[in-house]
Amino acid sequence: MDFDLNEEQIAMREMARDFAEKEIAPLIEEDEKEHRFRPELVKKMAELGFFGCVIPEEYGGNGAGHLASVILTEEIARVSASWGLPFNVQTMGPGTTIVRWGTEEQKQKYVPALVNAETLGCFAITEPNTGSDVASMETYAVETDDGFVLNGSKTWISNAHVADVGIVFAYTDKKAEPKYRGISAFIVDLKNTPGIESRPIETKLGLFCAPTGEIAFEDAKIPKDSLLGKKGGGFKICMSMLDCTRLSSAARAVGVARGCLEESAKYALERKQFGRPIADFQMIQDQLARMKVEEDTARLLVWRAACKKDRGERNTLEVSMAKYAAAEAAVHAANEAVKIFGSYGFSSEYPVERYLRDSKSFQIVEGTSNIQKVIIAGYVLGKRK
């Protein structure tokens, strides 16, 4: 794709491609079967500077930027959507959010450790009764003399049961008007706080190498300095975090779309029916051409949103467009890939059935495709600015 990447970005892309081929690809089918998460792989990604792109040097990052980050994410997700997740839960989510909203002490304490993967991160918004409607969350934190007491439960949290630290959103004022102004954000030590329990969700459709789980808070006492930003400022913090995590998910979706196209083109040239490669059939070419256009469109939208962020501009609309286009492109590409592979597409011998299962997550996470359209339409109609 024509786009002016600098030498550093091109070198980083090559490095990520190489890492994905050497460190992830050889074991991915076995890892998937075992639903295996390998923390040592997150550490290796950290050592290569993967999570430092969006973090300034003073907090352990390399400052390469959001465009570099989405390029790396795509390369990893092209091989495994699961292994694209650490970008989100290390620095695109918690890392950037603490850099933006945290005190100097919080930044020093948490951000370098997320960048080098000494600690594993997560962010917890979703609850059993709360998905798209974030302000309907029920988890609450009562302020005491020496901190807060958390009660409630979060579900479908990426990294829940493996994370050391999480950004947890909870009501501190249930009477606030408008009600979202009653939400606060907390940086919570998930491993060493009595009253916090987490467990994996074992019933997932895909992303088998990316942990997902539930976290329950029962009279969990957290210190005063766990408050992130202002009391009541949690909703704003949450939305600013989603601008970053959505972008990262969009980049993963582009990786999956590309994987589907590359595998499909290869298979179409090899597989013969009616005495010739199925690639000769115009209907197959039509499928491949559409997949290609959708993949490139999604990537351009992702890169545009990333460049806007790197220029220091707000990119909520661009991120929602990128996330929506990339999620739909990935699902469509995976669906077409399974068709092109015929019965082999229905088999775990080839990666396309995994791509199909994994791709569905992108229409849900970080705001469903419908929610992205609600945001986009809000801008189109002048209701958002």
Ligand X SMILES: Cc1cc2nc3c(=O)[nH]c(=O)nc-3n(C[C@H](O)[C@H](O)[C@H](O)COP(=O)(O)OP(=O)(O)OC[C@H]3O[C@@H](n4cnc5c(N)ncnc54)[C@H](O)[C@@H]3O)c2cc1C
Minimum CB distance to ligand X, residue 171 (Å): 15
Pairwise CA distance, residues 201 & 217, whole Å: 17
- Please, are residues 139 and 169 in contact by the beta-carbon 8 Å criterion? yes
Contact between 84 and ligand X (CB under 6 A)? no
Contact between 370 and ligand X (CB under 6 A)? yes
Minimum CB distance to ligand X, residue 130 (Å): 7
For residue 130, give the DSSP letter: B
Contact between 73 and ligand X (CB under 6 A)? no
- Dihedral, 288, 293, 295, 300 alpha carbons, nearest 10: 160
Nearer to ligand X, 123 or 303 (CB): 123
Nearer to ligand X, 308 or 323 (CB): 323
316-340 vs 234-270: helix axis angle to the nearest 10?
30
- Binding letters toward ligand X, positions 96-125, x by CB under 6 A: --------------------------xxxx
Nearer to ligand X, 70 or 371 (CB): 371
β-strands 121-124, 165-171: how paired? parallel
Minimum CB distance to ligand X, residue 265 (Å): 28
> SS in 3 state form for 188-247?
EECCCCCCEEEEECCCCCCCCCCCEEEEEEEEEEEEHHHEECCCCCHHHHHHHHHHHHHH
Contact between 217 and ligand X (CB under 6 A)? no
Neighbours of 222 (CB within 10 A): 24
Amino acid at 51: F
Active site residue 366: yes
Stretch that binds ligand X, among 102-110, 307-315, 327-335, 365-373 (CB under 6 A): 365-373
Q: Give the binding-site size for ligand X (rule: CB under 6 A).
A: 21
Choose the catalytic residue: 32, 127, 294, 366: 366
Which stretches of the chain bind ligand X, using CB under 6 A?
122-126, 131-132, 156-158, 207, 212, 361, 364-368, 370-371, 374
Give me the active site residues, please: 366
